[in-house]
Amino acid sequence: MTHVSELQFPLLKVLNADGTVCGEIPDIPAEKQREMYRGMVLARTLDQRAFNLQRQGRIGTYAPFSGQEAAQIGSFALLEQDDWIASSYRELAGLVYHGLPLAQALLVSMGHPHAGYMPENLNVFPIQIIIAAQTLHAVGTAWASKLKGEKNVSVTYFGDGATSEGDFHEALNFAAVYKVPVIFFCQNNHWAISVPVSQQMATPTIAQKAVAYNMEGIRVDGNDVLAVYTAMKKAVERARAGEGPTLIEAVTYRLGPHTTADDPTRYRDEEVWKGWQERDPLIRYRQFLQSEQLWSDEDERLAWEEAKQKVEEAVEMAESFPKPDPAALFDHVYESLPDDAAEQKRELQERLTRGEGY
């Protein structure tokens, strides 16, 4: 039996952990490079603030993404406004960089119905909670784009745990058979809640799963924003040229818990965690920019200051957003409410009118 080894899917890298160059630097305008780093700073600021808001009881359960900013922003940087995006609940860094308002990003964890209303200028699906379900949605939009002769691509983001779901394999098979312009972007952060990758699959890489579906597979250092950009550029160009789907495995690490309801100290090795902290994508990219004379200490100070101000304004806006009518939970599900649901809605409205709450 032929064994597809890890060596056939080497880890694409451009920067070492200390920011020194070890690969081919992609052709990115200087201001675009600076913009990408500012996006990473804003994302980290948002993530830390949201975590604290949850601990203060001001938002609900939250899924942190610190440590995965390079994987998201390095890939979103190649997408156009009319490209389709189907994401999971851990892609707020990329979605905000792509144009999702900061306040709306916070409304997601506030459980506000408006969080599902994506801006009209973005082809972005509402954030998906069901693991791997969004992979099929992206294949659908990609197939539609192909049938209509459009050049926009579809991208679906998911974690390593999603590759253990049937939807993932069905999506890859369908995409390969119909050769649709879709990119499967897996952020392999090593953990599906408390289950390590080693217990999810027997293969040494996720990228090699592309072989079974006869599609392109790329494995990239997910903490190296320039390497991610390079990998995504190849995938986007292939999709727009009609060359079919690509599976990208971005090897990264979730520095925080799975969600604020999780305690990673119960299952994660502290020394391994410390090692990944030293590979922080923000530090790596900043050191590179400074070595290229594209970033200064003053730029750094201003970037964090501006990010903090933007996030605080977003918090104020999200918390002042009109509270939804509790009875609205019955809306937007059925075209016509079934009799039992209609009766429950009437009962709830009467209780609210009497001030009894729900």
Spell out the domains of the chain, with CATH numbers in brackets: 8-323 (3.40.50.970), 325-358 (no CATH)
The answer to whether 178 and 140 are in contact (CB under 8 A) is: no
What residues contact residue 236 under an 8 Å CB cut-off, 6+ apart?
78, 79, 153, 183
Helix axes 69-76, 281-291, angle to 10 degrees: 60
Ordered per-residue pLDDT tens for the chain, 358 residues: 456 666 689 999 999 999 999 999 999 999 999 999 999 999 999 999 999 999 999 999 999 999 999 999 999 999 999 999 999 999 999 999 999 999 999 999 998 888 888 999 999 999 999 999 999 999 999 999 999 999 999 999 999 999 999 999 999 999 999 999 999 999 999 999 999 999 999 999 999 999 999 999 999 999 999 999 999 999 999 999 999 999 999 999 999 999 999 999 999 999 999 999 999 999 999 999 999 999 999 999 999 999 999 999 999 999 999 988 888 888 888 899 999 999 999 999 988 888 876 6
CA dihedral 328, 333, 339, 341 (to 10 degrees): -50
8-state DSSP, 116: G
Measured distance CA(128)–CA(162) in Å, rounded? 12
pTM of the shown model = 0.94
Measured distance CA(93)–CA(169) in Å, rounded? 26
Q: Could you tell me which of 182, 126, 176 has the C-alpha nearest to residue 152? A: 182
Measured distance CA(175)–CA(215) in Å, rounded? 9
Question: How many separate helices (H) and strands (E) can be counted in the chain?
Answer: 11, 8
Catalytic residues: 254, 258, 267
**Which residues face 15 on adjacent strands?**
21
Task: Give the number of other CB atoms < 10 A from CB of residue 251.
Answer: 24
Measured distance CA(319)–CA(141) in Å, rounded? 34
8-state DSSP, 216: E
Measured distance CA(148)–CA(121) in Å, rounded? 20
